[in-house]
Amino acid sequence: MPMLLPPFDQDTPLYRGNLHGHTDLSDGHKTCAEAVNFYQNLGYDFIALSDHLWDDASFASTTVTDASALDGDDFITIPSAELHCLGKRYDQDGLWHLVANGLPLDFKMASREETITHMISRAREAGAYVSIAHPEWYAMTTDEALIASSAHAVEVFNYSAAIESGRGLGIGTADILLHEGKRMSFTATDDSHFRSQDAGGGWIMVGSDDLTASALVDAIKHGRHYSSTGAEIHALLMQGDDLHVACSPANHIIVSGIGYAALSAQGQNMTYADFDLSGFSSPYFRVTVIGKNGQTAWSNPYWLDQLR
């Protein structure tokens, strides 16, 4: 029996959004209204204004940014923050960075004694979707990634880090956690500050019944999204052991799993590929689509025990 995989398995629209961005309430260079207007003009459906939440006024706010007054019928904001606490090894300030989407507005910043595991737990209990931010940007070690693995997700692409420091990827960190059995999802984000051309380079597409913060966060928590820098995944369909991928024109379509397990299709402007997973020795797989100019899309990992 053919089975469409999330987020294509339900008759819902796919909404485009950025989960990680900053305004002049922390270290961004635009007001909330200017940031909203910018992303609306790019054709987005939602953004998360995730201003830094910490006790250093030189770059952070002490409250969760509330931009709900700017919400409309066709564009909304998700209350969010980039959370910090002390204890990160390779960071000039010794700070961990986590993005929490769907926070209550009264969520308190961490104390200087709070641990990373407690902060993740507190954010999750408050209802947020928590992701490990830009792991390559500040040299997250494997041990640190495992400490933070109670988060929901890993940023596999951070546009600002990519163009400003050449350290924008997180897929290596994500794969290590998957190998350790951590069922993480993926995000691609801008981490926009508007101090450079750092907006519109990474986003997620979310399958949701409604364009509301609560519906979007719930869908993202359930893995009903994929991540992109420009390539599109149109459908992922399983029929027995066969995986069918439909996508925007691509030169490479790749299925990756544990260790070096991988299958790939190579060509020019491919819009689909079929893969036989009967001999694919991995408890999970994920799909990567790469276009002619390097635009990439990443599916979330799919665990075979859940699919079966």
Q: What is the average per-residue pLDDT within 267-295?
A: 97
Q: Is 197 exposed, middle or buried (0-12, 13-18, 19+ CB in 10 A)?
A: exposed
pLDDT digits (tens, 9 = 90+) for 144-197: 999 999 999 999 999 999 999 999 999 999 999 999 999 999 999 999 999 999
Residue 144: which residues within 8 A CB-CB, separation 6 or more?
88, 89
Whether 124 shows a pLDDT value over 90: the answer reads yes
Whether 1 shows a pLDDT value over 90: the answer reads no
Whether 205 shows a pLDDT value over 80: the answer reads yes
pLDDT digits (tens, 9 = 90+) for 53-112: 999 999 999 999 999 999 999 999 999 999 999 999 999 999 999 999 999 999 999 999
Q: How far apart are CA 7 and CA 61, in angstroms?
A: 34
Instruction: Please answer whether residues 33 and 228 qualify as being in contact, where contact means their C-beta atoms are separated by less than 8 angstroms.
Output: no
Delimit the CATH 3.20.20.140 region(s) of the chain: 12-228
Q: How far apart are CA 16 and CA 233, in angstroms?
A: 13
Q: Reply yes or no on domain 12-228 having CATH 3.20.20.140.
A: yes
pLDDT value of residue 308: 77
Assign 140 a pLDDT band (cuts: 50, 70, 90).
very high
Q: pTM of the full predicted structure?
A: 0.97
pLDDT value of residue 71: 98
Delimit the CATH 2.60.40 region(s) of the chain: 233-307
In CATH, the number for domain 233-307 is: 2.60.40
Instruction: Characterize 77-100 residue by residue with b for buried, 16 or more Cβ atoms within 10 angstroms of its Cβ, and e for exposed.
Output: bbbbbbbbbbebeebeeebbbbbb
Assign 137 a pLDDT band (cuts: 50, 70, 90).
very high
Q: What is the average per-residue pLDDT within 205-213?
A: 98
Q: What is the average per-residue pLDDT within 36-51?
A: 98
Instruction: Please answer whether residues 17 and 23 qualify as being in contact, where contact means their C-beta atoms are separated by less than 8 angstroms.
Output: no
pLDDT value of residue 230: 98
Q: What is the average per-residue pLDDT within 199-209?
A: 98
Assign 21 a pLDDT band (cuts: 50, 70, 90).
very high
Assign 277 a pLDDT band (cuts: 50, 70, 90).
very high
Instruction: Please answer whether residues 223 and 300 qualify as being in contact, where contact means their C-beta atoms are separated by less than 8 angstroms.
Output: yes
- Give percent of the chain with pLDDT exceeding 90: 99
- Give percent of the chain with pLDDT exceeding 70: 100
pLDDT value of residue 94: 97
What does the DSSP assignment read for 109-134? Answer: PPPTT--HHHHHHHHHHTT-EEEE--
What does the DSSP assignment read for 259-300? Answer: TT-EEEEEEEEEEEEEEE-TT---SEEEEEEE-TTS-EEEPP
Residue 22: which residues within 8 A CB-CB, separation 6 or more?
28, 49, 50, 51, 52, 82, 191, 192, 193
